[in-house]
Amino acid sequence: MIDIKFLRANPEAVKENIRKKFQDQKLVLVDEIIEMDEKVRQAKARGDELRSQRNAVSRQIGALMKQGLKEEAEKTKKLVTDMADELASLEAQEEKLAEEIKSRMMVIPNIIGPEVPIGKDDSENVEIERFGEPTVPSWEIPYHVDIMETFDGIDLDSARRTSGNGFYYLKGDIARLHSSILSYARDFMIDRGFTYYIPPFMIHGDVVKGVMSFSEMENMMYKIEGEDLYLIGTSEHSMIGKFIDQILDKDQLPQTLTSYSPCFRKEVGAHGIEERGVYRIHQFEKQEMVVICEPEDSPMWFDRLWQNSVDFFRSLDIPVRTLECCSGDLADLKVRSLDVEAWSPRQKKYFEVGSCSNLGDAQARRLGIRVRDKEKGNYFPHTLNNTVVAPPRMLIAFLENNLQEDGTVRIPKPLQPYMGGKELLTPKK
């Protein structure tokens, strides 16, 4: 949610930003907000005038009563009553208009950064840089489920019976590998100075509305029936929500947090869930990084966050690249976003394994998170988030890039302590 003062002063800039995001249907909202905002300010000015007059007139009543001018006093009382009625009407009008304005402001997209390329969808995202040499071995690499099955490491049939498509059982060495990657990611981020959290996995509706746009909420979140609780789609939701309605001292910034959680997603619009595969699923686990910082520091933190992901994947010998997300691929709250994609030697292409986002002050403004400053007054901090790792999707990249011709899977040195010292995984089938 952008600052209404900015919209009021720069309506054409807001409209141009809407056009850059190819959301022309929202252009009319800017004019509606400006018109309603003017009515609110007029109502406030009239209300202030009435309160001043009412106070002055109220003081006259006592004087008139002392002078024995009861009839004049009664007329004055009637005038005060009329003023009170008009004030009540104005306050109701203000409240209704404020809600109308807020409902529109919540869907006006955030102002995108100057680095963001203009494009309609993810097909127009721009590659920035590659890290590591993508290779294709001379032998054929099987589908990721087939690799897991050689280790007797996955059971999709049982998961379909218990839960339907989009769920899985991992077991044996594959389950251990999954957990080891998460444990390594946790320690990787702790070593980089981030504070480790395990947050709540369910949050209230006001937190959901604060951390994401309505369209994302509709397409992602599972609601607990009969309760004001939603299953989180990522631990960023809980971690940013932790600071709802809080005022932070300047010396409390930056907040650098890394959090583990399961994640639950409807995946609406995902063109169905694969019956054989764990690339797009309803339930997975993730290690996240979250930063709350001074507004002027958010570009620096953005670069540090995506670099953390690149360094993590390269430490496991997985080639990656970064893509600058174009305007049409950005969620409404985002100022800028960079996708990290891992190399798939089987598909001979890269695929998304994480996304780094700078949301400016949008989440802080929605959630009422402020910073206390005696000189400047209170202001909103910036919030950023990025995926460290999200298996089992990351398992696909790991298995394909570390698979050997004999069917064994090499365990890179940083991961070996988490795998009981194993250097290789040996197939059971």
> In this structure, what CATH number is given to the domain that contains residue 15?
1.10.287.40
Domain endpoint, select from 105, 132, 159 = 105
Long-range contacts of 416-420 (CB under 8 A, 24+ apart): 418/179, 418/180, 418/181, 418/183, 418/184, 419/176, 419/177, 419/180
Shared domain for 210 and 263, answered yes or no, is yes
* Beta-strand relationship, 336-344 and 283-293: unpaired
**Residue 45 and residue 144 in one domain:** no
If you write DSSP's letter for every residue of 124-144 in order, what string do you get?
G-EEEEEES-----SSPPPPH
- 297: domain CATH number is 3.30.930.10
Co-location of 193 and 79 in the same domain: no
Does 185 lie in the same domain as 87?
Answer: no
Q: What is the pLDDT of residue 62?
A: 59
Q: Which residue range is the domain that position 275 belongs to?
A: 122-425
**pLDDT tens, per residue, the chain with 429 residues:** 889 999 999 999 999 999 999 999 999 999 999 999 999 999 888 888 877 777 666 666 656 666 667 667 667 667 777 778 878 888 898 889 999 999 999 999 999 999 999 999 999 999 999 999 999 999 999 999 999 999 999 999 999 999 998 899 999 999 999 999 999 999 999 999 999 999 999 999 999 999 988 777 778 899 999 999 999 999 999 999 999 999 999 999 999 999 999 999 987 655 555 567 888 889 999 999 999 999 999 999 999 999 999 999 999 999 999 999 999 999 999 999 999 999 999 999 999 999 999 999 999 999 999 999 988 899 999 999 999 999 888 999 999 999 999 999 999 999 999 999 999 999 987
Residue type, 243: F
Predicted local confidence at residue 168, as pLDDT: 93
Cα dihedral across residues 184, 185, 186, 187: positive or negative = positive
Peptide bond into 392 cis (omega under 30): yes
Same domain, 317 and 403: yes
In a domain, 312, yes or no: yes
46 and 168 belong to one structural domain? no
In angstroms, rounded to a whole number, what is the distance separating the alpha carbons of residues 77 and 54? Answer: 10
Name the domain count of the chain: 2
Tell whether omega for the bond before 109 is within 30 degrees of 0, i.e. cis.
no
Which of 53, 71, 105 delimits the end of a domain?
Answer: 105
Q: Decide if 114 is inside a domain.
A: no
Residue 112 lies inside a defined structural domain of this protein: no
193 shares a domain with 270: yes
Please name which of 238, 250, 195, 220 lies closest in space to residue 370, comparing C-alpha atoms: 250
Q: What is the pLDDT of residue 393?
A: 86
Q: Is residue 110 part of a domain?
A: no
Q: Does 52 share its domain with 161?
A: no
The verdict on 210 and 334 lying in the same domain is yes
Where would I find the H helices in 156-297?
A: 156-162, 172-191, 205-211, 214-220, 235-241
pLDDT value at residue 73: 65
Q: Is residue 398 part of a domain?
A: yes
In the DSSP assignment, the letter for residue 295 is G
